[in-house]
Amino acid sequence: MATRRVVVFPSSAELGPALADLVSSRAGAAVASRGRFTLGLSGGSLVSMLSKELPALPDLDCSKWVVGFCDERLVPADDPESTYGLYKTQLFTKVNIPESAILSIDSSLPVNECAEDYTRKLKKAFPDDDKPVFDMLLLGMGPDGHTCSLFPDHPLLEETAKIVAPISDSPKPPPQRVTMTFPVVNSARCVAFVSTGGSKAPVLKEVLEGREGPALPAARVAPAKGELFWLIDGPAAADLAIPVEKPGSGARL
């Protein structure tokens, strides 16, 4: 089971550069070891953070990156709700990820077919793996403890056969989405959650310190053989009683 590292930064202004540095360091190691870096992206505040901080890194080379999405809403790419669309306009125009190496959904398909199509794309990108083994997944967490489009008390939490699943009844709009499942999430070599803001403090305490009853989806992320980071800011960490890391200026993760 992965060793969990909970790292607290004074604010998101310090967290962003550390996240970019972590992505860059894991990318360099993956390319040196396996010839490419496979990265799964999530939406929310991660889009603006990565779009600001990754292009600011000196000598960043993304030419051997393969990028997928941990979940996606079934909307056209030009819809403001499209995670791919946001990254396309805010990040992908600034870095040299090959367009053919960006694995996005086909939002023109019905949700079940869309999930099957995205499954095929992932299997083609990971032909040697029983299920995709990403070098790194970047995850967020909702105020209800959901991550990807895996929501509390939803049947998809128990999905073990599919690597990508459709969801038509998302409690958070839009209702139709596709999402990676826990078998893929927990196969990653490195998973990094990013959680910021005081509104996340109560649920973060439940996720990281445990709670009575079923574990929240974010608490079920535990890569079997990989690293697990929780990168959070001071306001989000306000309720935590567990030991945390507080890196000094310029510290590497």
Indicate the burial class of 16 (C-beta count within 10 angstroms; 0-12, 13-18, 19 or more): buried
Q: Is residue 20 in a domain?
A: no
Distance CA 146, CA 186 (A): 15
pTM above 0.85, yes or no: yes
Inside any domain, residue 158: yes
Predicted pLDDT of residue 253: 84
- Number of structural domains (the chain) is 1
End-to-end CA distance of the chain: 19
Asked if the structure places residue 218 within a domain, the reply is no
Residue 136 has pLDDT above 60, yes or no: yes
Instruction: Name the band, by pLDDT with cuts 50, 70 and 90, for residue 252.
Output: confident
- Residue 8: inside a domain: no
Q: Give me the pLDDT at residue 12, please.
A: 92
111: domain range? Answer: 35-189
- What digits encode the pLDDT tens for the residues 44-98? 999 999 999 999 999 999 999 999 999 999 999 999 999 999 999 999 999 999 9
186-219 pLDDT per residue, tens: 999 999 999 999 999 999 999 999 877 789 999 9
Question: pLDDT band at residue 251, thresholds of 50, 70 and 90?
Answer: low
Q: Is residue 52 part of a domain?
A: yes
Measured between alpha carbons, how far is 222 from 117 in angstroms, rounded to an integer? Answer: 27
Q: Is 119 exposed, middle or buried, given 0-12, 13-18 or 19+ CB atoms closer than 10 A?
A: middle
Residue 22 lies in a domain: no
Helical pair 45-53 and 12-34, crossing angle rounded to 10 deg: 70
Q: How many CB atoms lie within 10 A of CB 184?
A: 25
40 neighbors 221 (Cβ within 8 angstroms): no
**Burial class, 91, CB count within 10 angstroms (exposed 0-12 / middle 13-18 / buried 19+):** buried
Residue 1 has pLDDT above 80, yes or no: no
From CA 247, how far away is CA 17, in angstroms rounded? Answer: 12
The pLDDT value recorded for residue 67 is 98
CATH of the domain at 126: 3.40.50.1360
Q: Is 18 a member of any domain?
A: no
CA distances from 98 to 15, 67, 115, 117 (A): 27, 9, 23, 20
Q: Is residue 47 part of a domain?
A: yes
User: Does 249 score more than 60 pLDDT?
Assistant: no
Q: Round to whole Å and give the CA distance between 40 and 22.
A: 14
